[in-house]
Amino acid sequence: MQPIYLAYLNRLDIEELKITDDEILAAIESSLASQGRGLSLSDIALGHAMLAKAERLGIGQRLRFA
């Protein structure tokens, strides 16, 4: 069985990201467009935007399960 990896950001990680209002709005706009096509929810897209920025900055943890 292939291992499953989860990205985890705690409160301090999120504060360190310094997500801007523009980044939040861009994630929400993108997710609303996707939701209109029946593809995703806005909280998922915002979470993805935060995780993508964290990965670029080397913030957070990668947890292995199984």
- Contact yes or no for 42/32 (Cβ under 8 A): yes
Res 38: pLDDT: 63
Give, for 26, the enclosing helix (H) or strand (E): helix 21-36
- Give the pair of three-digit tokens for residue 53: 């920025």
Question: Which tens digits make up the pLDDT trace of 7-60?
Answer: 777 888 888 888 888 888 887 777 777 667 665 555 566 677 777 888 888 877
- Contact yes or no for 45/28 (Cβ under 8 A): yes
Q: Which of 63, 46, 50 is nearest to 6 (CA)?
A: 63
Confidence (pTM): 0.49
Res 60: pLDDT: 75
Res 14: pLDDT: 80
Our count of domains for the chain comes to 1
User: Whole domain around residue 47: which residue ranges?
Assistant: 4-65
